[in-house]
Chains A and B, each alone.
Chain A
Amino acid sequence: MAVRITNRTLKSFLASKKLSRALSSKVTFNWEDPFDLDSQLAQDEIIIRNSFRAYCQEKLQPRILLANRNETFDPNVMLEFGEQGVLGCTLKGYGCANVSSVAYGLLTREVEKVDSSYRSAMSVQSSLVMGAIYSYGSEEQKEKYLPRLAKGEILGCFGLTEPNYGSDIGAMETKAKYDASSKSYILNGSKTWITNSPIADICIVWAKCEDSKIRGFIVDKSISKKGLETPKIEGKLSLRASVTGMILMDNVEVPEANLLPKASGLSGPFACLNNARYGIAWGALGAAETCLSIARQYTLERKQFGKPLAANQLIQKKLADMVTEITLGLQACLRVGRLKDENRICPEMLSILKRNNTGKALEIARNARDMLGGNGIHDEYHVIRHMINLETVNTYEGTHDIHALVLGRAIT
């Protein structure tokens, strides 16, 4: 049903605008931060964010165009992340910075403003690999691996998903059998869609043991060479600046000292994934913010039919929707971040956060791509790269639909 804006409605709308301006005479709308998120951050969180933002914009952004076009991952990036202290930054000890969860989110948001590939690599190393060893590893394992992982000197990957089982990971086929004579576990199976696996030094592999319980193993490539292959997956059109591969295990021997002693059952990997999801929720909005910024600038500058594209209501509505979703999404991230630091979160909160933010970010990127017209398909305008990346970000760590089912079950 069409609504006609009459003169009377317009007048009262303008009158209310005058009133609101009188009430809040000093506050002006800032499309980049409508709810003044900055004022909700601690001083050190702001300094952390600003420092990393400068690094991302000055050192990472210039590299991403060619890295994406030529599908190259520069391992120096991980060393640079290590230097900045952003890897495993929420952990305490072992050379980690012990910053707040909100600070971690601010970091993932800044790096994903450049590209989701770099944020994926950062999430995997920090939340999945270091998180698994920190939460479930023995003291020896922590001392052996965490400091070097924090510096980016060694890379890790997280082997959970399999070719036949993704969402239904409880039915995984990778098996671990204990061999008393060699005091090791023999692993058989395959994992796929594993970020970093071709270049990783260690793989945190989750396998079903003989008691049908799922446990985690630190598969160290320098120790368990025989039967282990980590081929790269070719033909990926998304997250091209990140290396993705498989983990193929044919009777791979893993010493029993490399079993993660404190994890048993799916709760282990799921807790790691929840930490990663939290970072992803912030990150996806970073990518969305870049798309919004580029789309806004483009439509302000490009003129057709005698006026800028941005003068058209259709464009304005799309920009309004983008700013709205990003603003609300960030507030949700902040809330969950603060709850996380108080140890007051549960997985369903992260389902809401990850599902909403990645889904909305993908839609924002798609709209932004459209607003750029023909230029929108060119990688020099960046938006299409974010759009294609967000397809993956929306899917991994729990697809949009799966999180919906998780929530549906929890609600009912």
Chain B
Amino acid sequence: MARVLVGVKRVIDYAVKIRVKPDKTGVVTDGVKHSMNPFDEIAVEEAVRMKEKKIASEIIAVSCGPTQSQEVLRTALAMGVDKGIHVEISGKDYDTLQPIHVSKILAKIAEKEKADFIIVGKQAIDDDSNQTAQMTAAILDWPQATFASKIEKGDKDITVTREVDGGLETIKCKIPAVISADLRLNEPRYATLPNIMKAKKKPIAKMTPKDLGVDVAPRIKVVSVEDPPVRQAGVILPDVDALVGKLKEGGFA
């Protein structure tokens, strides 16, 4: 049976109205509701279902971030994950943490834990990078099945249906592999009370990037964070000719 590593990220809750900090260095996160990245919830659910189908033997969830990242790990444990790993990164290091760093961390942990699958959400709803799965696969030289909407396990491989711009693409990957979960892969379960209580006893190991030999020095510098421009009023035109004229003026036709 397979060992599964799942990456989970703590992000600002999808329902919260994001506000830019007055000093333009970022968005307001203090006192703002955070939760598990929705695509990561789907990843966790898929891993738990694999365990229920006896395809997976153990599921380990990993989260990189400050102390509060443990909340997201606890939720993953309550959904059925066996153990959690919290890679402690906070302050300035966390502000400039990028997929390139996270993918190195995940790769190292996957090697340590002898994982057969790494499942992550296709992208995080705060940075929308859509890079971690791909980079992790490249570092490990494992096949990658991204935007997965269906996963079927064969004897020595997996058949994954991917949602791509042109429609659906079905591929076969050897194991071990990296998978990124898309929206329609499954509907995550609500953590039940008994499972939440059981999760209290499950272990969360703590480590730092240094312990894994990963350098999280910044590779980017945030210059400024600003609100998108306010939407301008539209113009009502008298007829189609005027519309065509306007489009030509704007260089759209």
Show the binding face of A for B, using Cβ within 8 Å.
26, 28, 30, 43-44, 46-48, 50-52, 54-55, 83-86, 89, 95, 97-99, 103
User: Do B31 and A97 touch across chains, with their CB atoms under 8 A apart?
Assistant: no
User: Do A84 and B31 touch across chains, with their CB atoms under 8 A apart?
Assistant: no
Q: Is the interface of B mostly helix, strand, loop or mixed?
A: helix
Q: Which of A44, A52, A95 contacts B190 (CB 8 A)?
A: A52
Contacts of A85 in B (CB 8 A): 192-195
B74 within 8 Å of A by Cβ?
A: yes
User: Do A84 and B193 touch across chains, with their CB atoms under 8 A apart?
Assistant: yes
Bound: A51/B190 CA distance, A? 6
Shortest distance between the CB of B4 and any CB in chain A (Å): 22
User: Do A44 and B74 touch across chains, with their CB atoms under 8 A apart?
Assistant: yes
Bound: A211/B111 CA distance, A? 74
Closest residue on chain B to residue A50 by CB atoms: B35
Given A44-B74, A44-B200: A28 and B31 interface contact (C-beta under 8 Å)? yes
B71 within 8 Å of A by Cβ?
A: yes
Q: Which of A30, A47, A83 contacts B75 (CB 8 A)?
A: A47
Contacts of A98 in B (CB 8 A): 197
Show the binding face of B for A, using Cβ within 8 Å.
30-31, 35, 71, 74-75, 78, 190-197, 199-200
Bound: A30/B192 CA distance, A? 29
Closest residue on chain B to residue A89 by CB atoms: B193
Q: Which of B30, B75, B192 contacts A26 (CB 8 A)?
A: B30
Contacts of B197 in A (CB 8 A): 44, 97-99
Bound: A166/B148 CA distance, A? 60
Given A44-B200, A50-B35, A99-B197: A84 and B190 interface contact (C-beta under 8 Å)? yes
User: Do B78 and A47 touch across chains, with their CB atoms under 8 A apart?
Assistant: yes
Bound: A215/B78 CA distance, A? 41
Closest residue on chain A to residue B191 by CB atoms: A51
User: Do A47 and B196 touch across chains, with their CB atoms under 8 A apart?
Assistant: yes
Bound: A46/B195 CA distance, A? 14
User: Do B196 and A55 touch across chains, with their CB atoms under 8 A apart?
Assistant: no
Bound: A50/B36 CA distance, A? 11
Contacts of B75 in A (CB 8 A): 47, 50-51
User: Do A97 and B30 touch across chains, with their CB atoms under 8 A apart?
Assistant: no
User: Do B193 and A97 touch across chains, with their CB atoms under 8 A apart?
Assistant: yes
Q: Which of A28, A43, A44, A84 contacts B192 (CB 8 A)?
A: A84
User: Do A48 and B193 touch across chains, with their CB atoms under 8 A apart?
Assistant: yes
Contacts of B190 in A (CB 8 A): 51-52, 54-55, 84
Shortest distance between the CB of B32 and any CB in chain A (Å): 10
18 pairs from A and B in contact (CB 8 Å cutoff) = A44-B74, A44-B196, A44-B197, A47-B71, A47-B191, A48-B193, A51-B192, A55-B190, A84-B192, A84-B193, A85-B194, A85-B195, A86-B193, A97-B192, A97-B193, A97-B196, A97-B197, A99-B197
User: Do B35 and A51 touch across chains, with their CB atoms under 8 A apart?
Assistant: no
Closest residue on chain A to residue B74 by CB atoms: A47
Shortest distance between the CB of A100 and any CB in chain B (Å): 10
Closest residue on chain B to residue A26 by CB atoms: B30
Shortest distance between the CB of B71 and any CB in chain A (Å): 7
CB-based closest 8 A-B pairs = A85-B193, A97-B193, A85-B192, A51-B191, A85-B194, A55-B190, A97-B194, A51-B190
Given A28-B31, A50-B35: A99 and B193 interface contact (C-beta under 8 Å)? yes
Contacts of B200 in A (CB 8 A): 44
Bound: A315/B30 CA distance, A? 30
Contacts of B196 in A (CB 8 A): 44, 47-48, 51, 97, 99
Bound: A86/B200 CA distance, A? 17
Bound: A89/B194 CA distance, A? 9
Shortest distance between the CB of A148 and any CB in chain B (Å): 16
User: Do A30 and B193 touch across chains, with their CB atoms under 8 A apart?
Assistant: no
Shortest distance between the CB of B79 and any CB in chain A (Å): 9
Contacts of A86 in B (CB 8 A): 193
Bound: A30/B28 CA distance, A? 14
Contacts of A84 in B (CB 8 A): 190, 192-193
Contacts of B74 in A (CB 8 A): 43-44, 47
Contacts of B199 in A (CB 8 A): 44, 47
Given contacts A44-B196, A47-B199, A51-B191, 17 further A-B contacts (CB under 8 A): A26-B30, A28-B31, A30-B31, A44-B197, A47-B75, A47-B196, A51-B78, A51-B190, A54-B190, A84-B192, A84-B193, A85-B194, A85-B195, A89-B193, A95-B194, A97-B192, A97-B197
Shortest distance between the CB of B207 and any CB in chain A (Å): 20
Bound: A84/B31 CA distance, A? 28
Contacts of B71 in A (CB 8 A): 43, 46-47
Bound: A97/B71 CA distance, A? 20
Bound: A86/B75 CA distance, A? 17
Shortest distance between the CB of A265 and any CB in chain B (Å): 33
Bound: A395/B190 CA distance, A? 34
Closest residue on chain B to residue A98 by CB atoms: B197
Shortest distance between the CB of A79 and any CB in chain B (Å): 13
Closest residue on chain B to residue A150 by CB atoms: B194
Bound: A89/B197 CA distance, A? 11
Contacts of A51 in B (CB 8 A): 75, 78, 190-192, 196
Bound: A50/B190 CA distance, A? 9
Given A43-B74, A44-B74: A83 and B31 interface contact (C-beta under 8 Å)? no
Contacts of B35 in A (CB 8 A): 50
Shortest distance between the CB of B142 and any CB in chain A (Å): 32
Bound: A137/B195 CA distance, A? 27
